[in-house]
Amino acid sequence: MRVQEEARAGAVHRWRWAALATLLAAEAMNLLDATIVQVAAPVIGRDLGGGESGIQWFSAAYTLPFAVLLITGGRLGDIAGRRRVFALGVAGFAVASACCALAPSAGALIAARAVQGAAAALVIPQTIGLIRAMFDGPETAKAFGSIGPVMGLSAICGPVLGAVLTHAVSWRAAFLVNLPLAAGVLATAPLLLEDRAERRPRLDPTGTVLATAGAAMLVFPLIQGNSAGWPAWMWAVLAGGAAVLAVFAWHQRRAAAPLVEPSLFSGRGFPAALAASTLFFAVMNGLMVVVVLQVQIGLGRDVLNAGLTLLPWSAAMAAASWLAGTRLVPRFGPRLMLAGLAIMLAGVCAAIPVYRGTPDAYPWPLLGALVLVGAGNGLFTVPFFTAALARVRPHETGSAAGLLNAVQQFGGTLGIAVLGTAFFHVLPHGSATAAEAAFGLAAVLLVLAAAFAAALIRPRP
């Protein structure tokens, strides 16, 4: 009998970790796709056209629907079953990836990228709920702890894999790599438990439409404005986006099933976390795009050079994340966030004179500056989410976590729009000068992020 129980326990243990591998593969697929396209975007632009704004849209068209549909995707999992919605999202992601690889024009690619982002919004929110359904006790913490290393490895491999595939084969291969990954995930998806919320939440279609329209109306002028010469109607769209988001906030306070728990905004702590997250991820995503643009468009180097230029950043970020999670956060707590931002700011400021001193040559000293940027990145992100949720009450946790993830993606979209537009605006004066301007703007954004992050460290009243 004891032997049978041990055998049964061993089988359950193996099943749980095989199912976890399925979830982690889907998470990695999402991150790999985002970083691969950031590196390949200039090559795609040369092949399909679309101009300066097209290069930005190849990334932003993915992150924007991903951001605004994340909370709705989580609720769909609560209602229809997380495994079912997860598998549907992975299948949609695979089909959209194939459409991206076959895209005949920049417009077709941007549309397919938007579908990819919407599919990712169905996949990613299910991970936490499915892990909680499959694991219990100490194994739950181990399962959640495995997400960080997988994400760190994906961050390292993404730029290099995208560069190698684009250089050796084609940028289309960078999208096709998703197909075997998605096939493997779908083949093992039956290992996942079907799980849904005990109390099924209601959807908020009005809130979803308002959030999507407002966010799109903000991002569109920021990307298209420079190439269009900023006509008056572009400013009107920008103002209209702000107005629509204000209506969205008003609607959330009165909706029977709001996307966002209104009580989250009753104090200053969580709004400060949202502001810090938006600014931080804007700098992170925006600067990655700027580095790639300067190497490929400015210096005329190939995509492999661009991917390897980002490698020190990604490697330092992964190493710092591991160090923070295992040693530093238990000792220093949320104060580590400010240290991470300070180190990141030092790297950004160190890059500015590098670009100034090497206007026409490959900026080798930039690699050292990017190590600082990546290290600061890793030191900030690990304690940030814990600190952001520390003042959230139990019934607000799901809404808060979903909103933080959505703001992270939206911040990345804004960063691509704002820092990418700053780069292209100054590009006629030289690519090094353009990169210098974008890094200078990023330094200002990091200072603002630090001001908001400091509010999370203050003791609760």
Which one-letter DSSP state was computed for residue 255?
-
pLDDT band at 147 (very low <50, low <70, confident <90, very high): confident
Q: Output the six-digit token pair for 143.
A: 């399962």
Measure the CA–CA gap between 344 and 370, rounded to whole angstroms: 9
- The stretches of 81-124 forming alpha helices (DSSP H) are 82-101, 106-123
Q: Output the six-digit token pair for 52.
A: 């300066």
Q: Output the six-digit token pair for 160.
A: 């290099």
Which one-letter DSSP state was computed for residue 260?
S
pLDDT band at 10 (very low <50, low <70, confident <90, very high): low
Q: State whether residue 231 is helix, strand or coil.
A: coil
Sequence-ordered list of residues with C-beta below 8 angstroms from that of 363, at least 6 positions apart, any chain: 354, 355, 432
Q: Are 406 and 273 in contact (CB under 8 A)?
A: no
Instruction: Detail the DSSP E strand segments found in 213-274.
Output: none
Mean pLDDT of the chain, nearest integer: 88
pLDDT over 90 at 383, yes or no: no
Determine the longest span between alpha carbons in the chain, in angstroms. 79
Measure the CA–CA gap between 109 and 54, rounded to whole angstroms: 10
**Residue 140 pLDDT:** 73
Provide mean pLDDT across the span 242-250. 93
Measure the CA–CA gap between 194 and 15, rounded to whole angstroms: 14
**Residue 458 pLDDT:** 67
Provide mean pLDDT across the span 300-327. 89
**Residue 4 pLDDT:** 53
pLDDT band at 296 (very low <50, low <70, confident <90, very high): very high
Measure the CA–CA gap between 88 and 97, rounded to whole angstroms: 14
Q: State whether residue 257 is helix, strand or coil.
A: coil
pLDDT band at 141 (very low <50, low <70, confident <90, very high): low
Q: Are 122 and 72 in contact (CB under 8 A)?
A: no
Measure the CA–CA gap between 174 and 54, rounded to whole angstroms: 18
Q: Are 337 and 380 in contact (CB under 8 A)?
A: yes
Which one-letter DSSP state was computed for residue 328?
I
pLDDT over 70 at 394, yes or no: no
- Quote the radius of gyration of the chain (alpha carbons, Å): 22
Measure the CA–CA gap between 296 and 163, rounded to whole angstroms: 11
Among the listed ranges 71-80, 265-274, 275-284, which one has the minimum average pLDDT value? 265-274
pLDDT over 70 for what percent of the chain? 94
Side chain identity at 275, as an amino acid letter?
A
Each residue's pLDDT tens digit, 399-446: 777 888 889 889 999 999 999 999 999 999 999 999 999 999 999 999
pLDDT band at 187 (very low <50, low <70, confident <90, very high): very high
Measure the CA–CA gap between 119 and 442, rounded to whole angstroms: 30
pLDDT over 80 at 5, yes or no: no
Measure the N-to-C terminal CA separation of the chain; round to a whole number of Å. 56
Side chain identity at 57, as an amino acid letter?
W
Sequence-ordered list of residues with C-beta below 8 angstroms from that of 9, at least 6 positions apart, any chain: none
Is the model's pTM score more than 0.85?
yes
Phi, psi of 66 (to 5 degrees): -55, -45
Domains (ranges, CATH) in the chain?
1-199 (1.20.1250.20), 258-461 (1.20.1250.20)
**Residue 202 pLDDT:** 81
Each residue's pLDDT tens digit, 65-92: 999 998 888 888 888 888 999 999 999 9
Cα dist from 461 to 235, 269, 366, 397, 456, whole Å: 41, 11, 43, 20, 12
Q: Are 68 and 406 in contact (CB under 8 A)?
A: yes
Sequence-ordered list of residues with C-beta below 8 angstroms from that of 130, at least 6 positions apart, any chain: 19, 23, 82, 83, 86, 192, 193, 195
